[in-house]
A and B are shown apart, each in its own frame.
Chain A
Amino acid sequence: MDVMPKWADVILIPLISILLAAILSAVVILAIGENPWEALKLMVDGALGSTYGWGYTLYYATNFIFTGLAVSIAFHARMFNIGGEGQALIGGLGVAIICLFIPWPHWSLALLGAAIGAAVFGAAWAAIPAFLQAKRGSHIVITTIMFNFIAAAVLNYFLIGALKAPGMEPATLKFPEATHLPSFQDMFNFGETTFFRGAPANITFFVALAACVALWALIWKTRLGYEIRSFGYSESAAKYAGISPTKIIMVAMLISGALAGMMAINNVQGEAERLVLNAVEGAGFIGIAVALMGRSHPFGVLLAALLFGFLYQGGAELALWTSIPRELIIVIQALVILFTGALDNMVRMPLERLFLSLRRAKT
């Protein structure tokens, strides 16, 4: 029996957790001698006050949708994929190889090719930890952490070796013109007025939205999704029902890795248009916060990704105009993970007691 009504579980608890995280963040801002209210206004203005700000917010949100979905699908199979960072890095490698070595006639084909390349590379990077978990029982958290470090080294190896462009910087050549994706600036250009001028948001945002819908359909409308969720609820029951644990672990992790890898079409092909070191910039880890906050539901992930996109762009503006460093965003991210993830019961236990007493009072 559920102690709480569904709306309390889906909306109230995340809301209280975020509020707690926000209050603590405000305390941190106060403690370093700045005004939290002013800071919030600056963030809202910088991230949402112009189409330029929106262009950055949506660009970051696109990254976080992909990594958030990646963590979510793994959560549904009760696995914790901390390796989104590494999978996205390797996905970038796939995008770079596809864009640099295949002469694409048109960006739409290049987008398709790069998306497949990114997904395959990301999935391949998740496949080894998944296989070790399924067949040898090696803990997926530890192996994916290790694979993050190995991914960084692999990328480093290619960027100072085989794929390095002439010059000092460890980066690839600029991708050819035909692979450049249309940015929001190109798409929303109505003669006189140009929206999103100079912002990096691009068509990948719509790919991310499509991924949300596709994942929702996969999880709740297909047999595979049902199997993944049953495995997540109870491994032994799923096994008894004839669901192969090996298959579910492998499939869930492959989808997870593919989604994390696909982030690269946004940041590598869409924005940088070449592969640089540390292209992911922690987005793989933010996916954890996004998935926790979005309760592993694609729609929740979308909302949480938008919030984190706002925080990221707002935080950059803060760092520009005040003495608050950009790392404040990492603190906020940590607090969100702490309250919506680890300290979930701290909010849940008193609420459950409250609802129980309410119900008793009624009867």
Chain B
Amino acid sequence: MDFATLLQMLDATLRLATPLLLACLAGLYSERAGIFDIGLEGKMLAAAFLSAAIAAVSGNVWLGLLAGIGASMLLSVIHGLASITFRGNQLISGVAINFLAAGLTVVIAQSWFAQGGRTPQLTGDARFNPIDLPFAEALQNVPVLGPIYYELISGHTILVYVALLMVPLTWWILFRTRFGLRLRAVGENPAAVDTAGVSVIWLRFAAVGICGILCGIAGAYLATALQAGFVKDMSAGRGFIALAALIFAKWRPWYALYACLLFGFLQAMSLRPDVIERVLSFQVNGQFLDVLPYILTVVILAGFVGKAIPPRAGGEPYVKER
């Protein structure tokens, strides 16, 4: 594999890892606060649809992004109501949210645009366009570093950089602020947090809300940056891969970045079977690469490669008084 192809692959990796990373960090906040969320997929899908729809109608991608976050937040509120207020089963609530999004997006898209459950193609300002970092053109011809800067680091949409910045930010929030400490505590031992006079309900709703915002950005990225418009079921299991990455990363922000880059790289490889064949000089089944994240997660969960221990109070509604 020559240098240019490698850069292309890594470039694709970064683009494909971005929605995974955003969704993975979204799940990180929620699950660290003790709320399991298998509805990441549905929230992304809802956000992808509404962001594309509003961007198509208004021609302004920023309005689209806001709408996408709104859609995702709405589903987050449902999840919060079900799993925090009414102390229902968080897993069942997540399943319901996934189906709600899968169904509603197509029904509404058909009703609004009558294009078989998709939105119109987005062009110009209705999409997030790549931005060139300063001096990218000028430094292009510097050996090795020039192409890396020009091809790999520069020339992405703003959301890619936002996602990357979210990693240190999340680390800082969770491990260096009072809010983060409480958020982690509420996922481990909510009774202790409650005894300290901090509202468990409020903290968990805050975590679920942050999860909604990040899923919203992830969905908007899918429909307005990675692709140009919404198509039915476009999240294509990414929410579940993000969930897998979260377990892979053992609920830690920096590891989440590495896991998402790894899974993004696998996706990039399955898009370029010709490259793999040239490098490995034998054919690798595309399906195998697609399901590798899931297989790896099962292996991790089985405890064969380190142990993944979820937050202790995860999945359990908190009852203040019995």
B is a partner of A: yes
**Chain A residues packing against B (C-beta within 8 Å):** 28, 31-33, 80, 82, 128, 132, 136-139, 141-143, 145-147, 149-150, 153, 156-157, 285, 288, 292, 323-325, 327-335, 337-338, 341-346, 349
B57 CB within 8 Å of chain A: no
Residue in chain A with minimal CB distance to B98? A334
Contacts beyond the supplied A128-B298, A335-B96: 19 A-B pairs with Cβ under 8 Å = A28-B107, A82-B95, A142-B297, A142-B301, A146-B244, A327-B106, A327-B110, A331-B100, A333-B103, A334-B103, A337-B92, A338-B82, A338-B97, A338-B100, A341-B88, A341-B95, A342-B92, A343-B88, A346-B86
B176 CB within 8 Å of chain A: no
Count B interface residues, CB 8 Å: 47
> How far, in angstroms, from A137 to B303 measured CA to CA in the complex?
9
Whole-angstrom distance between the Cβ of A49 and the nearest chain B Cβ:
24
Query: Cβ of A343: which chain B residues have Cβ within 8 Å of it?
Result: 81-82, 86, 88, 93
Query: Cβ of A31: which chain B residues have Cβ within 8 Å of it?
Result: 111
- 15 pairs from A and B in contact (CB 8 Å cutoff): A138-B302, A138-B303, A139-B310, A145-B243, A146-B297, A149-B240, A149-B294, A330-B99, A331-B103, A333-B103, A334-B98, A338-B78, A342-B90, A343-B82, A346-B86
Q: Which 9 pairs between the two chains have the least Cβ-Cβ distance? A: A330-B103, A342-B93, A334-B99, A331-B103, A138-B301, A32-B111, A341-B92, A334-B100, A338-B96
Query: Cβ of B247: which chain A residues have Cβ within 8 Å of it?
Result: 142
Q: Which of A28, A137, A145, A342 is in CB contact (< 8 Å) with B96? A: A342
Query: Cβ of B38: which chain A residues have Cβ within 8 Å of it?
Result: 141, 145
B60 CB within 8 Å of chain A: no
Residue in chain B with minimal CB distance to A319? B110
Whole-angstrom distance between the Cβ of B69 and the nearest chain A Cβ:
21
**Chain B residues packing against A (C-beta within 8 Å):** 38, 78, 81-83, 86-93, 95-100, 102-104, 106-108, 110-111, 114, 117, 237, 240, 243-244, 247, 285, 287-288, 290-291, 294-295, 297-298, 301-303, 310
Residue in chain B with minimal CB distance to A338? B96
Tell me if A327 and B81 are in contact (CB < 8 A).
no
Query: Cβ of A149: which chain B residues have Cβ within 8 Å of it?
Result: 237, 240, 291, 294
Whole-angstrom distance between the Cβ of A1 and the nearest chain B Cβ:
14
From known contacts A141-B38, A323-B110, infer whether A153 and B288 are also in contact, taking CB-CB under 8 Å.
Answer: yes
Contact residues of A: prevailing secondary structure: helix
| Most chain A CB within a 10 A radius of its CB, from B90, B91, B95 | B95
Q: Which of A32, A150, A334 is in CB contact (< 8 Å) with B291? A: A150
Q: Which of B81, B91, B107, B111 is in CB contact (< 8 Å) with A80? A: B91
> How far, in angstroms, from A28 to B100 measured CA to CA in the complex?
12
Whole-angstrom distance between the Cβ of A90 and the nearest chain B Cβ:
14
Query: Cβ of A349: which chain B residues have Cβ within 8 Å of it?
Result: 86
Query: Cβ of B95: which chain A residues have Cβ within 8 Å of it?
Result: 82, 285, 288, 337, 341
Tell me if A331 and B93 are in contact (CB < 8 A).
no
Residue in chain A with minimal CB distance to B317? A345
Tell me if B99 and A153 are in contact (CB < 8 A).
no
